[in-house]
Structure 1
Amino acid sequence: MTSTKKRDYITRAGWQKLADELDYLWREKRPHVTRELSAAAAEGDRSENAEYIYRKKELREIDRRVRYLGKRIDELTVVETTPDDPDKVFFGAWIDVADDNDQTHRYRIVGADETEAATGAISLNSPVARALIGKRLGDVIVVTLPQGERELEIMAIHYEPPTA
């Protein structure tokens, strides 16, 4: 039986960030909350102990996130290689584009787990990324967004972090 499950890609930096979060939660945050919970439990009546109730809830949230991260990290495929053709847009690329109003934007195509609007890190599955994949320097693409169609011209493609 062949698997039809779609692969979830991530950059090395994105994977490391998730692994660091898991490590922090497991080695630092969870033991701290467990100690605080024990101290709150020692204060007596747990049914009216706000600190105890809060720490139990916090511990459940940490455990839920730890379980999620543990599973998710194992499901991800880290992409570490640069493409044979660096003049073409692939996963992990930083792309400078100019829109139809001559405003420039920088995007980086990353996995869904590492998207961040403030830095321009967009999911491989986003409309902009799907339109950019496989295109070359100077290509003009048309992207359909909720606000309507936008034209973007590819001005630069980088596979190492751009300096400016």
Structure 2
Amino acid sequence: MSRAFVKEMDGLEEALPERPQSSHINYVTPRGLAQLQERVRELSASRSALELRDDLDSRQQLKRVERDWHYYTERVARAVLVRPTAQPGDKVHFGAAVEVEDEDGHGQRFVIVGEDEADAARGRISWVSPLAQALLNARPGDTVTWRRPAGDKTLEILAIGEDPP
């Protein structure tokens, strides 16, 4: 029988594929950079603890932790810190909190952040998202078109502010 059809136990020892890095510049807010650095510290601690154990489960966990550690270490190394307070306050910029209103009068607040810091449920949107791209450089009183698969939506910029810590 060909070796190609034999399941081998040593396949468990193979390295996991690397997590792909984004092709975009890794802009980060000070908060986003701190979160990435904290994640690297957590993974380093997990790695140290798992290296002390010598069982199959620990070795498998260690591979996942090392893969994630490598990913986040690279994200920190590629980080470009942008201080929102150093940006012009009269137009939407990276790190800004933006209040908008749609054509139905529904208001929302978004903060434009780095890819790793994005959390749509909390209104924190990645700077590369279609919504952020529609908002960037707009001024209060401007209307922008958010191009969405569900249909375009017109938003009016009501206010631009800082994201509180």
Alpha-carbon distance in 1 for matches of 2:72, 2:161: 30
Q: Are 1:115 and 2:94 counterparts?
A: no
TM-score (norm 1): 0.80
**Alpha carbons of structure 1 residues 140 and 83: separation in structure 2 relative to 1, 3 Å:** farther
**Alpha carbons of structure 1 residues 104 and 64: separation in structure 2 relative to 1, 3 Å:** same
Write out aligned runs for 1:77-92 (5 A). Answer: 77-83=80-86, 85-92=88-95
Q: Are 1:15 and 2:33 counterparts?
A: yes
Contact kept in structure 2, 1:88 and 1:157, CA below 8 Å: yes
Contact kept in structure 2, 1:83 and 1:90, CA below 8 Å: no
Q: Percent identity?
A: 34
Task: Report the Cα offset of residue 7 of structure 1.
Answer: 2.7
Task: Report the Cα offset of residue 76 of structure 1.
Answer: 1.3
Secondary structure in 1 aligned to 2:64? helix
* Unmatched 5+ stretches in structure 1: 39-51
Alpha-carbon distance in 2 for matches of 1:16, 1:31: 21
* Unmatched 5+ stretches in structure 2: 1-22
**Alpha carbons of structure 1 residues 81 and 123: separation in structure 2 relative to 1, 3 Å:** closer
Task: Report the Cα offset of residue 138 of structure 1.
Answer: 1.4
Q: RMSD in angstroms over aligned alpha carbons?
A: 1.8
Alpha-carbon distance in 2 for matches of 1:108, 1:160: 7
Which is worse superposed, 107-116 or 83-92? Answer: 83-92
Count how many residue pairs are aligned between Structure 1 and Structure 2.
Answer: 143
Q: Are 1:130 and 2:147 counterparts?
A: no
Write out aligned runs for 1:18-97 (5 A). Answer: 18-26=36-44, 28-35=45-52, 37-38=53-54, 52-83=55-86, 85-97=88-100
